[in-house]
Structure 1
Protein backbone atom coordinates (compact mmCIF):
# COMPACT_ATOMS: atom_id res chain seq x y z
CA UNK A 1 0.00 0.00 0.00
CA UNK A 2 1.37 3.40 -0.98
CA UNK A 3 1.37 6.47 1.23
CA UNK A 4 -1.39 8.02 -0.89
CA UNK A 5 -3.55 4.91 -0.49
CA UNK A 6 -3.08 5.02 3.27
CA UNK A 7 -4.10 8.66 3.43
CA UNK A 8 -7.13 8.01 1.22
CA UNK A 9 -8.28 5.11 3.41
CA UNK A 10 -7.93 7.31 6.46
CA UNK A 11 -10.04 10.08 4.94
CA UNK A 12 -12.63 7.91 3.20
CA UNK A 13 -13.41 4.49 4.61
CA UNK A 14 -16.70 2.80 3.80
CA UNK A 15 -16.11 -0.57 5.43
CA UNK A 16 -19.23 -1.77 7.29
CA UNK A 17 -20.88 1.51 6.35
CA UNK A 18 -24.45 0.32 6.78
CA UNK A 19 -23.77 -0.95 10.30
CA UNK A 20 -22.12 2.33 11.26
CA UNK A 21 -25.12 4.38 10.16
CA UNK A 22 -26.97 3.37 13.32
CA UNK A 23 -24.30 5.13 15.40
CA UNK A 24 -25.04 8.53 13.89
CA UNK A 25 -28.82 8.41 13.77
CA UNK A 26 -29.10 11.03 16.51
CA UNK A 27 -26.48 13.19 14.82
CA UNK A 28 -28.38 13.08 11.51
CA UNK A 29 -31.58 14.16 13.26
CA UNK A 30 -29.73 16.91 15.10
CA UNK A 31 -28.06 17.95 11.84
CA UNK A 32 -31.39 18.74 10.22
CA UNK A 33 -32.34 20.93 13.19
CA UNK A 34 -28.96 22.68 13.19
CA UNK A 35 -29.11 23.25 9.44
CA UNK A 36 -32.51 24.88 9.85
CA UNK A 37 -31.66 27.27 12.65
CA UNK A 38 -28.11 27.93 11.43
CA UNK A 39 -29.33 28.80 7.96
CA UNK A 40 -32.08 31.11 9.21
CA UNK A 41 -29.94 32.85 11.84
CA UNK A 42 -27.16 33.28 9.30
CA UNK A 43 -29.34 35.56 7.18
CA UNK A 44 -29.51 38.10 10.00
CA UNK A 45 -25.88 37.56 10.95
CA UNK A 46 -24.90 38.87 7.53
CA UNK A 47 -27.46 41.67 7.49
CA UNK A 48 -26.32 42.90 10.91
CA UNK A 49 -22.59 42.35 10.27
CA UNK A 50 -22.16 39.83 13.12
CA UNK A 51 -19.80 37.09 11.83
CA UNK A 52 -17.15 38.17 14.36
CA UNK A 53 -19.78 37.94 17.11
CA UNK A 54 -20.52 34.33 16.12
CA UNK A 55 -16.88 33.43 16.65
CA UNK A 56 -16.78 35.26 19.99
CA UNK A 57 -19.89 33.48 21.24
CA UNK A 58 -18.49 30.11 20.17
CA UNK A 59 -15.39 30.62 22.36
CA UNK A 60 -17.52 31.17 25.48
CA UNK A 61 -19.72 28.27 24.43
CA UNK A 62 -16.59 26.15 24.32
CA UNK A 63 -15.66 27.32 27.83
CA UNK A 64 -19.12 26.44 29.16
CA UNK A 65 -19.07 23.02 27.54
CA UNK A 66 -15.55 22.35 28.87
CA UNK A 67 -16.63 23.31 32.39
CA UNK A 68 -19.63 20.99 32.16
CA UNK A 69 -17.39 18.17 30.91
CA UNK A 70 -15.01 18.70 33.84
CA UNK A 71 -17.86 18.74 36.37
CA UNK A 72 -19.66 15.77 34.83
CA UNK A 73 -22.69 17.91 33.95
CA UNK A 74 -24.72 18.14 30.75
CA UNK A 75 -22.35 19.39 28.05
CA UNK A 76 -25.14 20.93 25.95
CA UNK A 77 -26.43 22.86 28.95
CA UNK A 78 -22.94 24.11 29.73
CA UNK A 79 -22.46 25.18 26.13
CA UNK A 80 -25.76 27.05 26.16
CA UNK A 81 -24.91 28.86 29.40
CA UNK A 82 -21.57 29.99 28.02
CA UNK A 83 -23.16 31.17 24.76
CA UNK A 84 -25.94 33.08 26.51
CA UNK A 85 -23.41 34.82 28.75
CA UNK A 86 -21.34 35.92 25.75
CA UNK A 87 -24.40 36.98 23.75
CA UNK A 88 -25.76 39.01 26.66
CA UNK A 89 -22.46 40.83 27.19
CA UNK A 90 -22.08 41.61 23.49
CA UNK A 91 -25.68 42.82 23.23
CA UNK A 92 -25.44 44.97 26.37
CA UNK A 93 -22.08 46.61 25.68
CA UNK A 94 -21.89 46.55 21.88
CA UNK A 95 -24.35 49.22 20.76
CA UNK A 96 -21.97 50.32 18.00
CA UNK A 97 -19.90 48.13 15.70
CA UNK A 98 -16.62 49.48 17.09
CA UNK A 99 -17.67 48.84 20.70
CA UNK A 100 -19.05 45.43 19.77
CA UNK A 101 -15.87 44.28 18.08
CA UNK A 102 -13.76 45.48 20.99
CA UNK A 103 -15.96 43.54 23.41
CA UNK A 104 -15.73 40.41 21.28
CA UNK A 105 -11.97 40.76 21.03
CA UNK A 106 -11.80 40.75 24.83
CA UNK A 107 -14.21 37.84 25.27
CA UNK A 108 -12.63 35.51 22.73
CA UNK A 109 -9.23 34.91 24.38
CA UNK A 110 -10.88 34.85 27.81
CA UNK A 111 -13.31 32.10 26.76
CA UNK A 112 -10.67 30.13 24.90
CA UNK A 113 -8.29 30.34 27.85
CA UNK A 114 -10.96 29.12 30.28
CA UNK A 115 -11.88 26.27 27.96
CA UNK A 116 -8.26 25.14 27.65
CA UNK A 117 -7.88 25.29 31.43
CA UNK A 118 -10.96 23.14 32.02
CA UNK A 119 -9.87 20.61 29.41
CA UNK A 120 -6.38 20.44 30.95
CA UNK A 121 -7.96 19.58 34.31
CA UNK A 122 -10.28 16.98 32.75
CA UNK A 123 -8.88 13.45 33.13
CA UNK A 124 -11.39 11.61 30.98
CA UNK A 125 -11.25 10.44 27.37
CA UNK A 126 -9.10 12.56 25.07
CA UNK A 127 -11.75 12.22 22.33
CA UNK A 128 -14.17 14.19 24.48
CA UNK A 129 -11.69 17.06 24.72
CA UNK A 130 -10.94 17.09 21.01
CA UNK A 131 -14.60 16.84 20.08
CA UNK A 132 -15.46 20.16 21.74
CA UNK A 133 -13.08 21.92 19.38
CA UNK A 134 -13.54 20.00 16.14
CA UNK A 135 -16.81 18.10 16.56
CA UNK A 136 -17.77 14.45 16.95
CA UNK A 137 -20.43 12.69 14.92
CA UNK A 138 -21.12 10.00 17.53
CA UNK A 139 -21.08 12.37 20.50
CA UNK A 140 -24.80 13.19 20.28
CA UNK A 141 -26.57 10.70 22.51
CA UNK A 142 -30.31 10.50 23.16
CA UNK A 143 -30.43 12.99 26.09
CA UNK A 144 -28.34 15.47 24.10
CA UNK A 145 -30.63 15.01 21.10
CA UNK A 146 -33.61 15.95 23.27
CA UNK A 147 -31.77 19.08 24.45
CA UNK A 148 -30.77 19.97 20.90
CA UNK A 149 -34.23 19.49 19.42
CA UNK A 150 -35.97 21.29 22.30
CA UNK A 151 -33.65 24.28 22.12
CA UNK A 152 -33.86 24.29 18.31
CA UNK A 153 -37.65 24.53 18.58
CA UNK A 154 -37.31 27.53 20.90
CA UNK A 155 -34.87 29.23 18.50
CA UNK A 156 -37.11 28.55 15.50
CA UNK A 157 -40.21 29.86 17.27
CA UNK A 158 -38.36 33.02 18.35
CA UNK A 159 -37.06 33.65 14.83
CA UNK A 160 -40.50 33.20 13.30
CA UNK A 161 -42.04 35.55 15.86
CA UNK A 162 -39.55 38.37 15.26
CA UNK A 163 -38.80 37.72 11.58
CA UNK A 164 -40.55 40.65 9.91
CA UNK A 165 -39.68 43.40 12.43
CA UNK A 166 -36.13 42.07 12.73
CA UNK A 167 -35.76 42.10 8.95
CA UNK A 168 -36.95 45.72 8.89
CA UNK A 169 -34.67 46.72 11.77
CA UNK A 170 -31.69 44.96 10.17
CA UNK A 171 -32.20 46.56 6.75
CA UNK A 172 -32.77 50.13 7.98
CA UNK A 173 -32.59 50.58 11.79
CA UNK A 174 -33.13 54.36 11.71
CA UNK A 175 -36.34 54.17 9.70
CA UNK A 176 -37.51 51.18 11.73
CA UNK A 177 -36.98 53.11 14.98
CA UNK A 178 -38.88 56.09 13.55
CA UNK A 179 -41.76 53.74 12.70
CA UNK A 180 -41.92 52.53 16.30
CA UNK A 181 -40.07 49.22 15.91
CA UNK A 182 -38.24 48.34 19.17
CA UNK A 183 -34.82 48.19 17.50
CA UNK A 184 -32.73 47.85 20.67
CA UNK A 185 -35.04 45.21 22.14
CA UNK A 186 -34.97 43.21 18.91
CA UNK A 187 -31.18 43.48 18.79
CA UNK A 188 -30.85 42.06 22.29
CA UNK A 189 -33.41 39.32 21.60
CA UNK A 190 -31.64 38.27 18.42
CA UNK A 191 -28.28 38.08 20.19
CA UNK A 192 -29.83 35.66 22.69
CA UNK A 193 -31.28 33.59 19.84
CA UNK A 194 -27.92 33.68 18.08
CA UNK A 195 -26.23 32.50 21.28
CA UNK A 196 -28.53 29.48 21.39
CA UNK A 197 -27.93 28.71 17.71
CA UNK A 198 -24.16 28.86 18.15
CA UNK A 199 -24.28 26.66 21.25
CA UNK A 200 -26.17 23.99 19.35
CA UNK A 201 -23.84 24.14 16.36
CA UNK A 202 -20.80 23.72 18.61
CA UNK A 203 -22.07 20.28 19.62
CA UNK A 204 -21.56 18.87 16.12
CA UNK A 205 -18.89 20.93 14.31
CA UNK A 206 -16.96 22.14 17.35
CA UNK A 207 -16.21 25.61 18.66
CA UNK A 208 -13.49 26.50 16.16
CA UNK A 209 -15.47 25.98 12.95
CA UNK A 210 -19.01 27.00 13.85
CA UNK A 211 -18.90 29.79 11.24
CA UNK A 212 -19.26 27.14 8.54
CA UNK A 213 -22.85 26.53 9.66
CA UNK A 214 -23.99 29.98 10.76
CA UNK A 215 -22.24 32.28 8.26
CA UNK A 216 -21.03 30.47 5.12
CA UNK A 217 -24.42 29.05 3.94
CA UNK A 218 -26.11 32.44 4.16
CA UNK A 219 -23.15 34.08 2.42
CA UNK A 220 -23.40 31.52 -0.37
CA UNK A 221 -27.14 32.05 -0.75
CA UNK A 222 -26.69 35.83 -0.92
CA UNK A 223 -24.41 35.35 -3.95
CA UNK A 224 -27.19 33.85 -6.06
CA UNK A 225 -30.32 35.62 -4.85
CA UNK A 226 -31.52 38.75 -3.11
CA UNK A 227 -35.07 37.50 -2.72
CA UNK A 228 -36.31 37.72 0.89
CA UNK A 229 -38.00 34.35 0.35
CA UNK A 230 -35.33 32.42 -1.55
CA UNK A 231 -32.41 33.71 0.53
CA UNK A 232 -33.39 32.00 3.80
CA UNK A 233 -34.58 28.88 1.97
CA UNK A 234 -31.28 28.46 0.15
CA UNK A 235 -29.32 29.26 3.29
CA UNK A 236 -31.13 26.48 5.16
CA UNK A 237 -30.65 24.10 2.23
CA UNK A 238 -26.91 24.80 2.04
CA UNK A 239 -26.42 24.51 5.81
CA UNK A 240 -28.34 21.24 5.99
CA UNK A 241 -26.52 19.78 2.99
CA UNK A 242 -23.15 20.70 4.53
CA UNK A 243 -23.78 19.14 7.90
CA UNK A 244 -25.63 16.04 6.70
CA UNK A 245 -23.08 15.46 3.96
CA UNK A 246 -20.26 15.99 6.45
CA UNK A 247 -21.72 13.43 8.85
CA UNK A 248 -22.14 10.83 6.11
CA UNK A 249 -18.64 11.39 4.72
CA UNK A 250 -17.01 11.30 8.15
CA UNK A 251 -18.75 8.07 9.10
CA UNK A 252 -16.16 5.36 9.55
CA UNK A 253 -13.26 7.74 9.04
CA UNK A 254 -10.68 8.63 11.67
CA UNK A 255 -10.89 12.28 10.58
CA UNK A 256 -13.16 14.55 12.67
CA UNK A 257 -16.39 15.76 11.12
CA UNK A 258 -15.43 19.44 10.93
CA UNK A 259 -13.12 19.24 7.86
CA UNK A 260 -15.89 17.55 5.89
CA UNK A 261 -18.53 20.08 6.90
CA UNK A 262 -16.29 23.08 6.29
CA UNK A 263 -15.10 21.75 2.92
CA UNK A 264 -18.66 21.13 1.71
CA UNK A 265 -19.79 24.52 2.99
CA UNK A 266 -16.86 26.28 1.35
CA UNK A 267 -17.38 24.36 -1.89
CA UNK A 268 -21.01 25.46 -2.03
CA UNK A 269 -19.93 29.05 -1.43
CA UNK A 270 -17.34 28.94 -4.24
CA UNK A 271 -19.91 27.53 -6.68
CA UNK A 272 -22.47 30.17 -5.70
CA UNK A 273 -19.92 32.96 -5.94
CA UNK A 274 -18.85 32.00 -9.46
CA UNK A 275 -22.46 31.42 -10.45
CA UNK A 276 -23.49 34.84 -9.16
CA UNK A 277 -20.58 36.53 -10.92
CA UNK A 278 -21.39 34.77 -14.19
CA UNK A 279 -25.06 35.74 -14.00
CA UNK A 280 -24.15 39.36 -13.22
CA UNK A 281 -21.87 39.50 -16.27
CA UNK A 282 -24.52 37.94 -18.48
CA UNK A 283 -27.09 40.43 -17.26
CA UNK A 284 -24.65 43.28 -17.82
CA UNK A 285 -24.03 42.14 -21.39
CA UNK A 286 -27.75 42.02 -22.07
CA UNK A 287 -28.35 45.52 -20.78
CA UNK A 288 -25.39 47.07 -22.63
CA UNK A 289 -25.88 45.38 -26.03
CA UNK A 290 -27.63 47.85 -28.35
CA UNK A 291 -30.84 46.74 -29.99
CA UNK A 292 -30.96 46.74 -33.78
CA UNK A 293 -32.98 49.57 -35.24
Structure 2
Protein backbone atom coordinates (compact mmCIF):
# COMPACT_ATOMS: atom_id res chain seq x y z
CA UNK A 1 0.00 0.00 0.00
CA UNK A 2 1.46 3.36 -1.04
CA UNK A 3 1.35 6.48 1.10
CA UNK A 4 -1.64 8.05 -0.68
CA UNK A 5 -3.79 4.96 -0.20
CA UNK A 6 -2.68 4.70 3.43
CA UNK A 7 -3.65 8.29 4.15
CA UNK A 8 -6.93 7.77 2.31
CA UNK A 9 -7.68 4.84 4.60
CA UNK A 10 -6.98 6.91 7.70
CA UNK A 11 -8.50 10.24 6.64
CA UNK A 12 -11.23 10.42 4.02
CA UNK A 13 -13.76 13.18 4.46
CA UNK A 14 -15.91 12.62 1.40
CA UNK A 15 -19.62 12.93 2.24
CA UNK A 16 -18.52 13.66 5.80
CA UNK A 17 -21.52 15.81 6.69
CA UNK A 18 -23.95 13.04 5.75
CA UNK A 19 -22.04 10.53 7.87
CA UNK A 20 -22.03 12.81 10.91
CA UNK A 21 -25.79 13.20 10.65
CA UNK A 22 -26.22 9.42 10.62
CA UNK A 23 -24.23 8.78 13.80
CA UNK A 24 -25.39 11.58 16.08
CA UNK A 25 -26.56 9.05 18.65
CA UNK A 26 -23.11 7.46 18.61
CA UNK A 27 -21.52 10.86 19.18
CA UNK A 28 -23.81 11.49 22.15
CA UNK A 29 -22.98 8.01 23.44
CA UNK A 30 -19.28 8.83 23.18
CA UNK A 31 -19.83 12.06 25.15
CA UNK A 32 -21.68 10.17 27.89
CA UNK A 33 -18.93 7.56 28.13
CA UNK A 34 -16.28 10.30 28.17
CA UNK A 35 -18.02 11.98 31.09
CA UNK A 36 -18.29 8.66 32.94
CA UNK A 37 -14.71 7.65 32.18
CA UNK A 38 -13.32 11.00 33.30
CA UNK A 39 -15.09 10.83 36.67
CA UNK A 40 -14.32 7.18 37.40
CA UNK A 41 -10.76 7.53 36.13
CA UNK A 42 -9.83 10.02 38.85
CA UNK A 43 -10.49 7.41 41.53
CA UNK A 44 -8.78 4.71 39.46
CA UNK A 45 -5.61 6.78 39.67
CA UNK A 46 -6.08 7.72 43.34
CA UNK A 47 -6.56 4.08 44.33
CA UNK A 48 -3.82 2.76 42.02
CA UNK A 49 -6.21 0.49 40.11
CA UNK A 50 -4.87 0.95 36.59
CA UNK A 51 -3.94 -2.73 36.38
CA UNK A 52 -7.37 -3.70 37.74
CA UNK A 53 -9.09 -1.93 34.83
CA UNK A 54 -7.22 -4.19 32.43
CA UNK A 55 -8.15 -7.28 34.44
CA UNK A 56 -11.84 -6.35 34.48
CA UNK A 57 -11.80 -5.62 30.76
CA UNK A 58 -10.50 -9.12 30.01
CA UNK A 59 -13.41 -10.82 31.80
CA UNK A 60 -15.78 -8.27 30.30
CA UNK A 61 -14.47 -9.30 26.89
CA UNK A 62 -15.03 -12.97 27.80
CA UNK A 63 -18.63 -12.22 28.80
CA UNK A 64 -19.28 -10.30 25.60
CA UNK A 65 -17.74 -13.07 23.49
CA UNK A 66 -19.87 -15.67 25.27
CA UNK A 67 -23.01 -13.63 24.60
CA UNK A 68 -22.02 -13.26 20.95
CA UNK A 69 -21.53 -17.02 20.65
CA UNK A 70 -24.95 -17.88 22.09
CA UNK A 71 -26.84 -15.06 20.39
CA UNK A 72 -27.48 -13.07 23.57
CA UNK A 73 -27.13 -9.33 24.10
CA UNK A 74 -23.43 -8.47 23.90
CA UNK A 75 -23.72 -5.49 26.25
CA UNK A 76 -25.38 -7.62 28.93
CA UNK A 77 -22.70 -10.27 28.50
CA UNK A 78 -19.99 -7.66 28.83
CA UNK A 79 -21.68 -6.25 31.92
CA UNK A 80 -21.94 -9.69 33.52
CA UNK A 81 -18.26 -10.39 32.93
CA UNK A 82 -17.26 -7.01 34.35
CA UNK A 83 -19.36 -7.44 37.50
CA UNK A 84 -17.93 -10.92 38.12
CA UNK A 85 -14.39 -9.60 37.70
CA UNK A 86 -15.08 -6.60 39.96
CA UNK A 87 -16.48 -8.85 42.70
CA UNK A 88 -13.51 -11.21 42.47
CA UNK A 89 -11.00 -8.38 42.64
CA UNK A 90 -12.92 -6.59 45.37
CA UNK A 91 -13.20 -9.66 47.60
CA UNK A 92 -9.85 -11.29 46.88
CA UNK A 93 -7.82 -8.11 46.53
CA UNK A 94 -8.74 -6.90 50.01
CA UNK A 95 -7.22 -9.99 51.61
CA UNK A 96 -4.28 -10.39 49.27
CA UNK A 97 -1.02 -8.71 50.15
CA UNK A 98 -0.32 -8.05 46.52
CA UNK A 99 -3.51 -7.40 44.57
CA UNK A 100 -1.58 -7.30 41.30
CA UNK A 101 -0.93 -11.04 41.56
CA UNK A 102 -4.68 -11.67 41.76
CA UNK A 103 -5.29 -9.46 38.75
CA UNK A 104 -2.46 -11.19 36.89
CA UNK A 105 -4.21 -14.53 37.39
CA UNK A 106 -7.62 -13.26 36.25
CA UNK A 107 -6.38 -11.46 33.13
CA UNK A 108 -5.08 -14.44 31.11
CA UNK A 109 -8.04 -16.56 32.23
CA UNK A 110 -10.53 -14.00 30.90
CA UNK A 111 -8.59 -13.44 27.70
CA UNK A 112 -8.33 -17.19 27.11
CA UNK A 113 -12.08 -17.65 27.60
CA UNK A 114 -12.81 -14.79 25.24
CA UNK A 115 -10.57 -16.21 22.52
CA UNK A 116 -12.19 -19.63 22.98
CA UNK A 117 -15.70 -18.21 22.54
CA UNK A 118 -14.66 -16.16 19.49
CA UNK A 119 -13.01 -19.22 17.93
CA UNK A 120 -16.29 -21.14 18.25
CA UNK A 121 -18.33 -18.23 16.85
CA UNK A 122 -19.12 -18.69 13.16
CA UNK A 123 -20.75 -15.34 12.46
CA UNK A 124 -19.34 -12.17 10.92
CA UNK A 125 -15.65 -11.53 11.51
CA UNK A 126 -16.41 -7.84 12.06
CA UNK A 127 -18.34 -8.74 15.21
CA UNK A 128 -15.29 -10.51 16.62
CA UNK A 129 -12.95 -7.66 15.76
CA UNK A 130 -15.32 -5.06 17.19
CA UNK A 131 -15.25 -6.63 20.65
CA UNK A 132 -11.49 -6.19 20.84
CA UNK A 133 -10.95 -2.83 19.16
CA UNK A 134 -14.34 -1.09 19.24
CA UNK A 135 -16.46 0.08 16.35
CA UNK A 136 -18.95 2.74 15.37
CA UNK A 137 -22.37 1.20 15.49
CA UNK A 138 -25.71 2.71 14.69
CA UNK A 139 -26.83 3.53 18.20
CA UNK A 140 -30.59 3.76 18.34
CA UNK A 141 -32.52 6.14 20.52
CA UNK A 142 -33.50 3.38 22.94
CA UNK A 143 -29.90 2.16 23.19
CA UNK A 144 -28.69 5.69 23.85
CA UNK A 145 -31.31 6.15 26.56
CA UNK A 146 -30.32 2.88 28.25
CA UNK A 147 -26.66 3.85 28.10
CA UNK A 148 -27.37 7.32 29.50
CA UNK A 149 -29.48 5.91 32.34
CA UNK A 150 -26.83 3.32 33.24
CA UNK A 151 -24.09 5.94 33.18
CA UNK A 152 -26.21 8.32 35.26
CA UNK A 153 -26.81 5.65 37.90
CA UNK A 154 -23.07 5.00 38.15
CA UNK A 155 -22.26 8.71 38.38
CA UNK A 156 -24.93 9.37 41.02
CA UNK A 157 -23.64 6.46 43.09
CA UNK A 158 -20.11 7.80 42.72
CA UNK A 159 -21.19 11.28 43.82
CA UNK A 160 -23.00 9.79 46.84
CA UNK A 161 -19.79 8.15 48.12
CA UNK A 162 -17.39 10.80 46.81
CA UNK A 163 -16.19 12.26 50.12
CA UNK A 164 -15.68 9.02 52.11
CA UNK A 165 -14.21 7.32 49.04
CA UNK A 166 -11.74 10.18 48.63
CA UNK A 167 -10.78 9.90 52.31
CA UNK A 168 -10.38 6.13 52.05
CA UNK A 169 -8.32 6.50 48.86
CA UNK A 170 -5.90 9.08 50.28
CA UNK A 171 -5.35 7.51 53.72
CA UNK A 172 -7.20 4.20 54.23
CA UNK A 173 -5.66 3.53 57.65
CA UNK A 174 -6.82 6.83 59.15
CA UNK A 175 -10.19 6.52 57.41
CA UNK A 176 -10.74 3.08 58.94
CA UNK A 177 -9.73 4.38 62.37
CA UNK A 178 -12.38 7.10 62.08
CA UNK A 179 -15.12 4.63 61.24
CA UNK A 180 -15.20 4.96 57.46
CA UNK A 181 -16.30 1.62 55.90
CA UNK A 182 -13.13 1.26 53.84
CA UNK A 183 -13.78 -2.32 52.75
CA UNK A 184 -17.37 -1.66 51.74
CA UNK A 185 -16.34 1.43 49.78
CA UNK A 186 -13.62 -0.54 48.02
CA UNK A 187 -16.07 -3.24 46.95
CA UNK A 188 -18.69 -0.68 45.95
CA UNK A 189 -16.22 1.25 43.81
CA UNK A 190 -15.04 -1.96 42.14
CA UNK A 191 -18.63 -2.66 41.10
CA UNK A 192 -18.99 0.87 39.71
CA UNK A 193 -15.70 0.40 37.89
CA UNK A 194 -16.91 -2.89 36.44
CA UNK A 195 -20.06 -1.29 35.03
CA UNK A 196 -17.98 1.59 33.63
CA UNK A 197 -15.64 -0.83 31.88
CA UNK A 198 -18.57 -2.73 30.35
CA UNK A 199 -20.10 0.48 29.02
CA UNK A 200 -16.77 1.78 27.70
CA UNK A 201 -16.00 -1.38 25.75
CA UNK A 202 -18.74 -0.42 23.27
CA UNK A 203 -16.56 2.45 22.06
CA UNK A 204 -12.89 1.51 22.41
CA UNK A 205 -13.04 -2.28 22.73
CA UNK A 206 -11.88 -4.60 25.49
CA UNK A 207 -8.16 -4.28 24.87
CA UNK A 208 -7.98 -0.48 24.77
CA UNK A 209 -10.39 0.57 27.51
CA UNK A 210 -7.42 1.95 29.44
CA UNK A 211 -7.39 4.94 27.07
CA UNK A 212 -10.78 6.02 28.39
CA UNK A 213 -10.57 5.13 32.09
CA UNK A 214 -6.92 5.87 32.87
CA UNK A 215 -5.11 8.12 30.39
CA UNK A 216 -7.35 11.24 30.75
CA UNK A 217 -7.06 11.22 34.55
CA UNK A 218 -3.33 10.51 34.37
CA UNK A 219 -2.93 13.47 32.01
CA UNK A 220 -4.91 15.75 34.33
CA UNK A 221 -2.73 14.80 37.29
CA UNK A 222 0.32 15.90 35.31
CA UNK A 223 -0.81 19.52 35.06
CA UNK A 224 -2.56 20.19 38.37
CA UNK A 225 -2.81 18.98 41.95
CA UNK A 226 -6.18 20.62 42.63
CA UNK A 227 -8.76 17.85 43.24
CA UNK A 228 -11.57 19.76 41.53
CA UNK A 229 -9.47 20.77 38.55
CA UNK A 230 -8.22 17.19 38.14
CA UNK A 231 -11.81 15.99 37.82
CA UNK A 232 -12.76 18.74 35.37
CA UNK A 233 -9.70 18.21 33.18
CA UNK A 234 -10.09 14.43 33.28
CA UNK A 235 -13.68 14.71 32.05
CA UNK A 236 -12.67 17.24 29.38
CA UNK A 237 -9.82 15.07 28.13
CA UNK A 238 -11.97 11.91 28.07
CA UNK A 239 -14.80 13.58 26.14
CA UNK A 240 -12.31 15.10 23.69
CA UNK A 241 -10.72 11.72 23.04
CA UNK A 242 -13.98 9.79 22.59
CA UNK A 243 -15.98 12.32 20.59
CA UNK A 244 -12.92 13.39 18.62
CA UNK A 245 -12.07 9.76 17.91
CA UNK A 246 -15.58 9.08 16.62
CA UNK A 247 -15.49 12.14 14.35
CA UNK A 248 -12.08 11.18 12.95
CA UNK A 249 -13.07 7.54 12.48
CA UNK A 250 -15.98 8.58 10.28
CA UNK A 251 -13.47 9.79 7.71
CA UNK A 252 -11.54 6.53 7.43
CA UNK A 253 -11.88 2.78 7.16
CA UNK A 254 -10.13 1.97 10.42
CA UNK A 255 -11.78 0.96 13.71
CA UNK A 256 -12.51 3.72 16.16
CA UNK A 257 -9.99 2.63 18.80
CA UNK A 258 -6.80 3.85 17.04
CA UNK A 259 -8.25 7.36 16.83
CA UNK A 260 -9.45 7.43 20.45
CA UNK A 261 -6.24 6.01 21.85
CA UNK A 262 -4.05 8.29 19.72
CA UNK A 263 -5.92 11.42 20.82
CA UNK A 264 -5.79 10.27 24.44
CA UNK A 265 -2.06 9.57 24.17
CA UNK A 266 -1.32 12.94 22.55
CA UNK A 267 -3.22 14.72 25.33
CA UNK A 268 -1.15 12.84 27.90
CA UNK A 269 2.13 13.67 26.13
CA UNK A 270 1.26 17.38 26.03
CA UNK A 271 0.25 17.39 29.70
CA UNK A 272 3.37 15.50 30.67
CA UNK A 273 5.46 18.06 28.83
CA UNK A 274 3.68 20.92 30.58
CA UNK A 275 4.14 19.23 33.95
CA UNK A 276 7.83 18.63 33.31
CA UNK A 277 8.36 22.24 32.24
CA UNK A 278 6.65 23.51 35.39
CA UNK A 279 8.76 21.21 37.55
CA UNK A 280 11.99 22.47 35.97
CA UNK A 281 10.93 26.09 36.42
CA UNK A 282 10.06 25.45 40.07
CA UNK A 283 13.42 23.73 40.61
CA UNK A 284 15.32 26.58 38.96
CA UNK A 285 13.40 29.07 41.11
CA UNK A 286 14.39 27.26 44.29
CA UNK A 287 18.03 27.14 43.17
CA UNK A 288 18.04 30.86 42.44
CA UNK A 289 16.50 31.69 45.83
CA UNK A 290 18.95 29.42 47.62
CA UNK A 291 22.00 31.02 45.93
CA UNK A 292 23.19 34.13 47.81
CA UNK A 293 23.85 37.37 45.88
CA UNK A 294 27.52 38.01 44.90
CA UNK A 295 27.95 40.77 47.49
CA UNK A 296 26.53 38.63 50.26
CA UNK A 297 28.73 35.74 49.18
CA UNK A 298 31.82 37.98 49.35
CA UNK A 299 30.96 39.08 52.91
CA UNK A 300 30.58 35.47 53.95
TM tier, shorter chain?
over 0.9
Aligned to 2:30: 31
Residues 188-267 of structure 1 correspond to what in structure 2 (within 5 A)?
Answer: 188-267=187-266
How many aligned positions are there?
Answer: 292
Q: Show structure 1 runs of 5+ residues with no match.
A: none
8 Å contact from structure 1 (residues 76, 147) kept in 2: no
Distance in 2 (alpha carbons) for counterparts of 1:144 and 1:115: 24
SS where residue 135 of structure 2 aligns? coil
Report the TM-score, using the length of structure 1 for normalisation.
0.95
1:68, 1:75 within 8 Å by CA — same for their partners in 2? yes
Runs of at least 5 residues in structure 2 that lack an aligned partner in the other structure: none
What do the CA deviations read for 1:39-60 (whole angstroms, capped 9, x no partner)?
A: 1111111111111100000011
Q: Secondary structure at the match of 2:227?
A: coil
Say whether the 8 Å CA contact 2:220–2:233 is kept in structure 1. yes
Q: Which moved more, 1:129-138 or 1:140-149?
A: 140-149
* Maintained 8 Å contact 2:168/2:180: yes
After superposition, the CA RMSD in angstroms is 1.6
1:161 maps to 2:157: no
Matches within 5 A, 1:281-292: 281-290=280-289
Partner of 1:65: 64
1:7-48 residue CA offsets vs partner (Å, 9 max, x unmatched): 000000101101111332221111111111111111111111
- CA-CA distance at 1:157 after TM superposition: 0.6
Measured in 2, the distance between the counterparts of 1:171 and 1:133 equals: 34
- Displacement over 6 Å in runs of 4+: none
Query: What are the residue-to-residue correspondences of 1:38-117 with 2, within 5 Å?
Result: 38-95=37-94, 98-117=97-116
- Whether the 8 Å contact between 1:249 and 1:260 is mirrored in structure 2 is yes
Contact 2:25 2:138 in 1 (8 A): no
Query: Does 2:150 correspond to 1:151?
Result: yes
Return the TM-score normalized by structure 2: 0.93
Distance 1:274 1:97, change over 3 A: farther
